[in-house]
Amino acid sequence: MIKFFRNIRKSLILEKSNNSKYIKYAIGEIVLVVIGILIALQINNWNIDRIDRKNEDMILLDLKVEFLENLKDAERILIGNQEIYSAMSEIQNNIAQENYEQHELDSLMYYVFDWFDYTPKPGASNNLINSGNLNIIQNKELRKLLTLWSGVDAELDDDEAVAINYSHNIIVPFIAEHFPISNLEKFDGSVDYYQRVQGKKFSYSEKLPYDSQALLINKTFQSHIAVKKIHAYHNAMECITVIDTCRLILDLIEDEIN
């Protein structure tokens, strides 16, 4: 085809009388070249877009796995903090009502000792943002939420770290001085789980006596209960934010996949 056009151009050059025809032909040839370039660019863009859509599909599936895990863990943390909040409230009620019954207090004291660690799974979202490929995601709302996610995620993670640090370094040492922690063994649900899974029987330490009234009227203990309750409430609210964000992201991912 190119040789054909060149032969026509050569013959027109040799015929001086056909200068006007040659000019028209030259212009036509330029137009054809431009059209050819535009078609080639369009085909290249189609190929790039096809590759991007294929990559987007794989990324969306990875994001779905990540945020399903984040949702599951945030729901676990929410339930745990709600249980801690309820237990701290019950202890405060017992103090107000001067109820010093030891067995009931033992079951509630496990929540004073307990804590929860949020473990986010920032795999696909971090990789997507750090690689600079966030624009592969076509949905603008999803891109926005993925950009904001690290802040939402970190807020709960940081708040849980504060609560865990307070429990580890302040509450547990105080409890160890005023309460026999061995009394809490039978209230640890994970022991029953491992007994069922491993088929082994775990023995509990002998229950030890203590002055429940002295513990409950202790002002430092009451302050620890109030702090533990505040942490639980605050972290539960952060959990709700994380859960709502996860669910919205998952809904958007599902829409894009479908």
Tokens coding 113: 């000792």
Q: Domain map of the chain by residue range?
A: 69-257
Total residues found in the chain within this entry: 258
**Are the CB atoms for 228 and 88 separated by under 8 Å?**
yes
- Is this prediction's pTM over 0.85? no
**Contact yes or no for 186/192 (Cβ under 8 A):** no
- CB atoms closer than 10 angstroms to residue 118: 23
Q: How many CB atoms lie within 10 A of CB 66?
A: 23
The number of beta carbons lying within 10 Å of the beta carbon of residue 148 is 11
Q: What is the pLDDT of residue 53?
A: 67
23-75 residue pLDDT tens: 666 676 677 677 777 776 776 666 666 666 677 888 899 999 999 999 999 99
Looking at residue 171, its pLDDT comes to 94
- Positions of the chain with pLDDT under 50: none
**CA-CA distance, 191 to 209, in Å (whole number)?**
22
